[in-house]
Structure 1
């Protein structure tokens, strides 16, 4: 299958443009794969439309790079992914929705069974067929979201009457504090996962997300399932991000105007011009994934864009369809009507924007709006 990156001709009808670099995504996956032990498989989490980058294009690029196991979230994501990748192993992280097992079987989707009720329902299906259908079993080691408790897991895995012919294809858990490697929670979860799964070492095991991959081989087991790092995000907050950026958001300049000293900018009059300003209004807003929490006020700076190497701070509130930028110190020849401003990308890291918005880069990537023109090609 081809993953060639042919740039489409830019359309003047779009207010913004989202460029996704498929080769950078594939390169990030190969980097992470190279960090694992030789016997460890490197899968990928591709939920949330490949973290906002577009599953339809990204999945084939990752498969071509060598990835063979993919983790979607809900069954509809997994079924769509199956249409794209007929030869891949596909798990649905959100588990087995009640009464839907026929859809999982019809599309060869493996649910990640996260509670006793799901496990019991799946084993009934296996008993009726007299065979084991592939599924993962999720054991909770402290995050207290999905997953059987340690006691439930041990009891279920040793109850031959309960399991019948079913044998898990994977045992997994999930790190709660991987973004902070020094947090003692990581070691507690690792020790607990190793202890409770040791009697079942003949079943492949998985604990590591992106941060777990970067924390070293103790966390790798038989399969790792990175997500945010594949898409250029920062998995570990306390260290430089080694991943290549994969996406760039550019917003079109609609108007450049003067703002007299003392006037206010935007909804709520939350920011006053402390000097005569030049501002540029660009065609992107929170409806496009530019989070409103990154707005600027007199008391708190907001995010920024980049124009030809010049930083342009956000002025006032981000609105649904527009952002106002301070371009007072940007050369006039860069401020032509219709020109593009980088709002996220190689020069405006999603993690930096996330800090202004008091969130994480995951939210920025998965929130990228559908109004942008989507282009697949290199960012440089």
Structure 2
């Protein structure tokens, strides 16, 4: 087996529980009870590279009321994975399709019981037509408000009012939720977030004025949970939802898998510190050789052995998601893998399907030895720092030859 990914069920469930508690998702002992905030578990982009078919059933059994997917095809695949795991349709979480839909998707929305995010009248008309063809079912939707991302969502004001007027005048489409997305939730004291909150409040006023009563009001991502201390965004969200008789919800993605962006202008949060990476990406040594001082290693000879070295060859490279920026020259150190629990530095260029590491100081390294490419001792944040990107891109880019699923 060339390389494989293992997912820790214990860590995934632990991260979900941590986020749920931090978001206020556990009932309070206070009297009367404090309204709880649900945590939508985002499994889009194949669960951020971890495998949605593996992670979705774990999160469902951990109590997630909602799962978030990219598109309708991914939503259908998640439904199938939940059923294959023995979770009946009645026991399955709701599934939110977060990145829009086209006319040809609408039949599958109804077939698989998905809840799409919508912001255009055309989307609602397509769903209403599909509902009519399906015997008059009612399709739940979540309306997204564009409060400052200029990405997807209906603009507050006249555009929103026209959309609400249309949906309130028919019965085939039901507004089950209203949502927005914060553009700067990882920034402490963000003026943009303050402005987005104001616009969302105005939009919720329009929703109430149109006579609509959504079940859910949600906003934010992992950093919204992480950065809630001084910001009070989740307390604000709970209050806003309660005001229209709805429940509040936050959408957690990358934090489920053990990572979170640092809070800009803020301290180190307890949530971020407590998260544990869920993915371990492994491979095996397929070659071991000795080189003498002066020999070049890898493409373009950017690394020259300054002493006798023992090198191990790994069958992974940038085609598998190991970033080329982790390459190392004599002038610039690069990334590393973990061999027998010790760091083995990458030497030379990471190539398409092969990478060389230095095992000179790791006694007994041999053919077939297991190697951790990503996991304890070498995290996605380590890779991201070297590659000049964020942990999101690293884990989403992992393309192992095989997924072993749950590893405990």
Pick the TM interval, shorter chain. Answer: 0.7 to 0.9
CA shift for structure 1 position 106: 1.5
Asked if 2 retains the 8 angstrom alpha-carbon contact of 1:43 and 1:223, the reply is: yes
Equivalent residue in structure 2 for 1:185, among 169, 177, 192? 192
CA shift for structure 1 position 345: 0.7
Tell me which residue corresponds to 2:143.
Answer: 137
**Structure 2 stretches lacking a partner, 5+ long:** 25-34, 83-88, 239-247
Distance 1:363 1:275 in 2: 36
Does residue 214 (structure 1) correspond to residue 226 (structure 2)? The answer is yes
CA shift for structure 1 position 299: 4.5
Give the 5 Å matches for 1:169-208: 169-200=176-207, 202-203=213-214, 204-208=216-220
Tell me which residue corresponds to 2:404.
Answer: 374
Does residue 23 (structure 1) correspond to residue 22 (structure 2)? The answer is no
Does residue 357 (structure 1) correspond to residue 364 (structure 2)? The answer is no
TM-score scaled to structure 2, two decimals?
0.81
Equivalent residue in structure 1 for 2:97, among 92, 104, 108? 92
Deviations 1:323-343 (A, max 9, x none): 111223x2322x122112221
Report the count of equivalent residues: 363
CA shift for structure 1 position 123: 4.7
Q: Please, which moves more after superposition, 181-190 or 336-345?
A: 181-190
Q: Please, which moves more after superposition, 252-261 or 128-137?
A: 128-137
Q: Please, which moves more after superposition, 162-171 or 74-83?
A: 162-171
- Does the C-alpha gap of structure 1 residues 22 and 161 become closer, same or farther in structure 2, counting only changes over 3 Å? closer
**Structure 1 stretches lacking a partner, 5+ long:** 1-13
Tell me which residue corresponds to 1:8.
Answer: none
CA shift for structure 1 position 89: 0.7
CA shift for structure 1 position 167: 3.4
Equivalent residue in structure 2 for 1:57, among 46, 54, 57? 54
Deviations 1:234-265 (A, max 9, x none): 24355354211211112211222233333322
Asked if 2 retains the 8 angstrom alpha-carbon contact of 1:287 and 1:321, the reply is: yes
Does residue 256 (structure 1) correspond to residue 305 (structure 2)? The answer is no
Equivalent residue in structure 2 for 1:118, among 120, 123, 133? 123
- Does the C-alpha gap of structure 1 residues 198 and 215 become closer, same or farther in structure 2, counting only changes over 3 Å? farther
CA shift for structure 1 position 152: 5.3
